[in-house]
Every structure is written in C-alpha cells, then in structure tokens.
Structure 1
Amino acid sequence: MKGAYWDPIDHARTTQPRAGESFIDTLWWPGLLLLGIGTILIACTVAASAYGNSGLSLTLALIAGAIVTAGTVLITLEHRRVNRVERRWRAEHPDGAPRLRAS
C-alpha cells in the first residue's frame, strides 16, 4: 500500500478504514514481535517453575514482564500516532469520509 507509513488508514476502499491496521502499518511489527517473544518467555517461566528452578523462573519472569511491557508501549504509541494521522486527515477532508449506502 502506497504511503502506509504516512497514512495507514484506508480512506477509499472500505467502510472499515482500520481493518488490518497492524499489518498495513509496519511500525506495529516490533511491538508484535516483542509480545511474541514475551509470550514464549512466559511459557519458559512456567516450565522452569514446573521443574523447580526458582532462580531461573524469577529471572525469566522479570525479563518476560519487561519485554511484554515494552511491546505494549510500542503498540500503544503507534496506535496513538495512527489516531493523530486519521484526525488530521479528517480535518483536511471533511467530506472525504466513506459513507454507507442506505438500502
């Protein structure tokens, strides 16, 4: 999609302009990757606890918590940026919003 960084909202082709926002806008990907890594580390924490290795499970839990928090913060910041872009576009194009057909 052309200009996905500058304007990830699909204004013309859909009545749901944010459908697929996390895949169209590639700036979400680092946050999604961190959430995936954090989920794997949470599973490793559970496994370490099951084997009775409390030192390793505490370390993994702290690292997983930090990584999941960082991923969540990145996704939240990018979503706020997309909201700002959409508000700016709507201010510049007051009649440009897609409309649903009346049946």
Structure 2
Amino acid sequence: MKGAYRDPVDHSRTTQPHAGESFIDTLWLPGLLSIALGVLGVAGFIAAIAYRHLELLPPLGLLTAALMVAGFALITAEHHRVNRVERRWLAEHPDRRPQLPAH
C-alpha cells in the first residue's frame, strides 16, 4: 500500500472508503493490543474470583478497565485522524466526490 500512514482511505476502488481501515492503517495496533491485554485482564479477573484471591480484584479490575478504555480511546483518535485526512483529500480533489452505493 502506498503511504497508508499518510492516507489510509481507499479513494478509488470501493464505494465504502473505510472498509478494512483497521487492516490498512497500522496505527490501530496500539489500541488493538491494549484491548487484547484488557481481555486477558478480564480472564485474570474471573480467575481471581474463581480461586478466591479477592485481594487481586481491585488492582486487576482497575488495570483491565484502564487498558480497555485506553484501547478504545486510541482507536477512536486514529479513526478521527483518518476522517481528517479524508476531508483534506476531498478538499484537494474537488472533482472526486465519493460514490454512493447503488441501491
């Protein structure tokens, strides 16, 4: 992919320019990794409950929640960046309006 960091939007081959955005734009990876660690934290939280290690619940719960919130915040911030890049590209190419899907 040419310059996926600078312009991860597919302008020419689809009527859905953000399809596959998470695969093209590698800046999603920190957010996805944070969410994956948060899911592991949920598993650890459930295991701590199962083994009655109640002293681990507050720190594990806070860490898990922080990882999940941070992951979703990173993904949201990156999606907003992609939208800004798309708006700038559309402003620079006024002749190329996005195609609407045919019904």
TM-score (norm 2): 0.91
Q: Give the corresponding residue for 2:31.
A: 31
Decide whether the 8 Å contact of 1:39 with 1:64 is kept in 2.
yes
Aligned match of 2:19: 19
3-state SS of the aligned residue for 1:83?
helix
Q: Is the 8 A contact 1:33 1:71 kept in 2?
A: yes
CA contact (8 A) 2:5 2:25 kept: yes
Residues 58-96 of structure 1: CA distance to partner in whole angstroms, max 9, x if unpaired?
221111111111111111111110010011111111221
- Paired AA for residue 76 in structure 1: T
What per-residue deviation string (whole Å, max 9, x for no partner) do you get for residues 23-71 of structure 1? 1000001100100110110111011012211111222111111111111
CA contact (8 A) 2:35 2:67 kept: yes
Q: Which runs of 4+ in 1 moved over 3 A?
A: 100-103
Q: What residue ranges of structure 2 are gaps of 5+ in the alignment?
A: none
1:41 partner letter: G
The answer for the alignment partner of 1:75 in structure 2 is 75
**Pair 1:35–1:101, CA change in 2 (3 A):** closer
Structure 1 residue runs without a partner (length 5+): none
- How many residue pairs get aligned? The number is 103
Moved more, 2-11 or 92-101: 92-101
Tell me the SS of whatever aligns to 1:6.
coil
Equivalent residue, structure 2, for 1:5: 5
Residue 95 of structure 1 corresponds to 95
For residues 59 and 102 of structure 1, what CA distance do their matches in structure 2 show? 51
| Identical amino acids, percent of aligned pairs | 60
**Contact in 2 for aligned 1:14/1:98 (Cα 8 Å):** no
For 1:38 and 1:101, locate their aligned partners in 2 and report how far apart those are by CA, in whole Å: 37
